[in-house]
Amino acid sequence: MTTAPLTIDPITLEILHNGLRSITDECFIALMKSAYSTNIKERRDHSATIMDRNGQLIVQAEHSLPIHIGSMLGLMHAVLKKYGREGVRPGDIFVANDPYVAGGSHLPDVNLGMPVFVAGELVAFICNIAHHADIGGMAPGSMAGGMTEIFQEGLRIPPVKLFREGELQQDILDLLLLNVRVPEERRGDYFAQIAACKLGERRLKELIATHSAPVITTAFEEIVTRTESRMRAAVATIPDGVYRFEDVMDDDGLGAKDILIKVAVEVKGDRINFDFRGSAPQVQGNINVTTSATQAAVCYTLKALLDPQVPNNEGILRVAQFTTEPGTLLDASFPAACAARAHTCQRIIDVIIGALAPALPDKVVGAANGANTTAVFFGRDPRTGRDFLYLETMGGGFGGRATKDGKDGVQVHITNTSNLPVEAIEMEYPLLVDSYGLIPDTGGAGKNRGGLALRRVVKPVGLDCQFNGAGERFRNQPWGVFGGKPGATGRFFIQSDNGDVTKLSNKPDTTRLRTDQSLVVETPGAGGYGPPAERSRAALEEDFRSGKFSAEFLRTHYGFEPGRLAGGSGEGE
C-alpha cells in the first residue's frame, strides 16, 4: 500500500514559512547581541540560515548578507561529501572557512553548521556565518593588499567538528584561537555563533513538535519550488536575446591594472544563463573569486532586478545559472589569493546590470561605489595594554535610478552591512574620528543623480598603529546609464599635523600611522541615470541648497546657475 503524498494548503505553508523565517531572524539577532567584535555586534557582518538535510538553502534571515549565500551552501555540500549523513550526529557542530575545500569565499567568513535530529532522523541544519575581524595571516584583518596566495591570508579550516555529539573539541578551538590576532575577541565571536546554532536547533524542534517532521520537510520543498516558479515567471518577462557588457577592476595591488570582467546574458523563455567566459585570467593579487562568490553575486543581481521581495532560497539558485572558466578571475584555482573577493563581486553585479540595462531600463541603476572600501587599524591599546583590531568596510554612493536619485553614503548590493558609529569607534579603540561626512560633487550628474561618497578621517590616540586597506573604483569611475555621468573615484592618503600629505596606493600593504598623522579615506561616488539636461530645476536648486553640489559643479554639468531662471530647466519644473 502506497502513502499519498503529503500536501499543505497555502495558508498553512505561509504560516510555516514565517515561522522558519522567525527562527533565522532570532538566530541572527542572538549572534549580533552576544558577539564581541564591532564588526558583528555593530556592523552586522553575519548571516543565519536553515538548510534541509540535503544541504539545500530553505530560509535566510532577513538581514543576512547576500554574499554569504554561496559560502553557507558550500559548507553543507562539503560536510555531506566528507562525512555523509551517517557521519552526522546529534549535537555535532561543524566549522569551516576554506574556499577550496569547504566552499567558502574568503577565510575571514567562518561558517558553523549544526544538524537538527527528530526521533533519530536528520531533518535539517542550522547554519550561520560571521566575518571575523582577523583570521591570522600576514596582515592584521587578513585582507590587506600584497597577498599572493591563500596561505598568506590566514588560517584555512576544512570541514571539521567543533562539537562532537554535544562535546566541545577543545583542541580544535585552541588551534583556531592560536592562529589569530586578538584571540579573546575571536573566542567571544565563536561562542556567539555556537549559541545561535543551539538556539536555532531548539526553535526548529519546537516548530516540528507542533506540526510534525513530515509536514516541515514537505514545507521545505514547497517553499523552494514556489520560489523557483516565481523567479522563472519573472525571467520570462525579459525579451529573449543575448545581452553583453564588460567592465574592469582597477588593479590587483601587485601591478595588474584594468582587469577585464565580461558577461553575455542569454535569455530564452524562462531560462537565463550568465556566461563570464572571456574574463581575465586569475591574478596574483587577492581580488580573485571562487565560484561560491560568483554564484552569490549572480543570485543577488537576478533577485534585485526581477523580484526583490522573493525569499532567498534554493529556488533562486536553480534559476540563476552561470558559466565560467577555471583559472580565471571569477573561477579561481588553488592557491589563488581571494581575501578581497567582495570588490570583484560588486563588479560582477555592475556588469550584469550594464548588460540588462536595455532590457530592464526601469530596474537598473548607475554603477555604484564599488563598495567594500576596507580600512583596518591594528595596535596595542595604551589604555589596557592589549591588542586591538578595528576593521570596517565603508559605503559610498549608490547609482541614480529610473524614478529617483541614488542614495548617499551607503553600503550597496551584496554587502549590506551597517555603518559603524563614530561613538562605537572612539569608545572601543584608541582612535579619534576627526571628521566623517559626505563629499560634495561626487555623485554623477543625470536626470537622477548618483549618490555621494563618504570621507572619514581617523587619528590614533597615544600610540603609533598599523593601517592597511583596499579600494575599488579608485582608478575607474563608476559609470552612469542612459546618458548619466560617472561618479567620482575614491582614494586613501595620510595627512600629517604639519600639513604634509602622503598618497597611498589603492590596495596598500600594512603602513605605519604615527600619532601626528591621520588616515583619510575617501570612498567613490556613483553614476547618474538619464541625461543631465532632463533634471528638474527644483532638484537642481535643492542640490545647491543642501550643500551636496557646488555652484561650479552645477554650472559645468547642467549649465545651471543657482538662483537664476536661465538654464537647467527640464522635466518637473
Asked if residue 329 belongs to a domain, the reply is: no
Closest C-alpha among 11, 456, 483, 489 to residue 219: 11
Asked if residue 245 belongs to a domain, the reply is: no
Rounded Cα–Cα distance for residues 135 and 131 (Å): 9
CA angle 516, 474, 347 (to 5 degrees): 135
Q: Strand order of the sheet with strand 511-513?
A: 386-394, 373-381, 465-470, 511-513
Q: Strand order of the sheet with strand 160-164?
A: 57-60, 46-52, 121-131, 109-118, 93-96, 160-164, 167-168
Neighbours of 360 (CB within 10 A): 17
Asked if residue 292 belongs to a domain, the reply is: no
Asked if residue 257 belongs to a domain, the reply is: no
DSSP codes of every residue in 209-265: HHH-HHHHHHHHHHHHHHHHHHHHHHHTTSPSEEEEEEEEEEE-SSS-EEEEEEEEE
SS3 of residue 128 by DSSP:
strand
Is 357 within 8 Å of 309 (Cβ atoms)? no
For the chain, report the end-to-end CA distance as a whole number of angstroms. Answer: 74
Pairing type for strands 511-513 and 431-439 reads unpaired
Q: Over the Cα atoms of the chain, what is R_g?
A: 24
User: For residue 221, how many C-alpha atoms fall within 13 Å in the half-sphere facing its CB?
Assistant: 12
Run of H or E including 413: none
- Write down the pTM of the prediction: 0.93
Please report, for the domain that includes residue 197, its CATH number: 3.30.450
Q: Which three cell numbers stand for residue 531?
A: 541625461
Is 334 within 8 Å of 100 (Cβ atoms)? yes
Asked if residue 196 belongs to a domain, the reply is: yes
- Phi and psi for 537 in degrees, rounded to 5? -60, -40
Domain boundary among 229, 247, 264: 229
Which residue ranges in the chain fall short of pLDDT 50?
1-2, 565-573
Rounded Cα–Cα distance for residues 196 and 201 (Å): 9
Structural domain total, the chain:
2
Pairing type for strands 517-522 and 491-496 reads antiparallel
Cβ neighbours for 312, distance < 8 A, ≥ 6 positions apart: 57, 59, 60, 64, 66, 69, 299, 303
Asked if residue 320 belongs to a domain, the reply is: no
Asked if residue 335 belongs to a domain, the reply is: no
Report the pLDDT value the prediction gives residue 238, as an integer from 0 to 100.
Answer: 97
Which residues constitute the domain of residue 517?
365-534
Whether residue 370 sits in one domain with residue 222: no
- State the Cα torsion 301-287-523-484 to the nearest 10°: -50
Asked if residue 356 belongs to a domain, the reply is: no
Q: Which three cell numbers stand for residue 365?
A: 541603476
Run of H or E including 301: helix 291-306
Domain boundary among 184, 206, 229: 229
